[in-house]
Amino acid sequence: MRILIDTNVILDILQKRDPFFADSYRALRKAIESDVECLISATAATDIFYMLRKAFGSAKQAREQMEQLAQIVTFADVQGMDIHTALMRDMPDFEDAVVDAVAERNGASCILTRNIKDFAGSAVPAILPVDFQSK
């Protein structure tokens, strides 16, 4: 099984953001323990680094967090065709449409996110961390 993890879930974990940290962490842990391949889009990696650098006030700390993250996730590239696919999707948020296109092209079973409303109309079903835990 393969899942794509949205940026908000990764940031919940890395920044220990309450009240979301516990559910996001447990969902990721379950995925890892169940030998699920966890993907994040390559474009999300730059967003995550930016947010971590801003939160920590340190590029070094942000890089260390990204190195740890790289040990447990696979970075899924974003191709030009994903942008074209996203442009054809009837989704309210373009960035989420790109995530959906990447998830679909990579054969993900679901997108783990806290923002399921913006994934209405996505090709790959979106699931909340709390719901993923009970799968």
What confidence score (pLDDT) does residue 60 get? 97
The rounded mean pLDDT for the chain is: 96
Confidence bin at 14 (pLDDT 50/70/90): very high
The model's pTM is 0.94
CATH of 2-133, one of 3.40.50.1010, 1.10.3430.10, 3.40.50.10090, 2.130.10.10: 3.40.50.1010
Over residues 68-94, mean pLDDT: 96
**In angstroms, how far is CA 120 from the centroid of its own chain?**
16
35 Rama sector, left if φ>0, alpha if ψ -120 to 50, beta otherwise = left
Backbone angles phi and psi of 38, in degrees to 5: -105, 120
Confidence bin at 65 (pLDDT 50/70/90): very high
Name the CA radius of gyration of the chain, rounded: 14
> How far, in Å, CA of 95 to CA of 101, rounded?
10
Confidence bin at 135 (pLDDT 50/70/90): confident
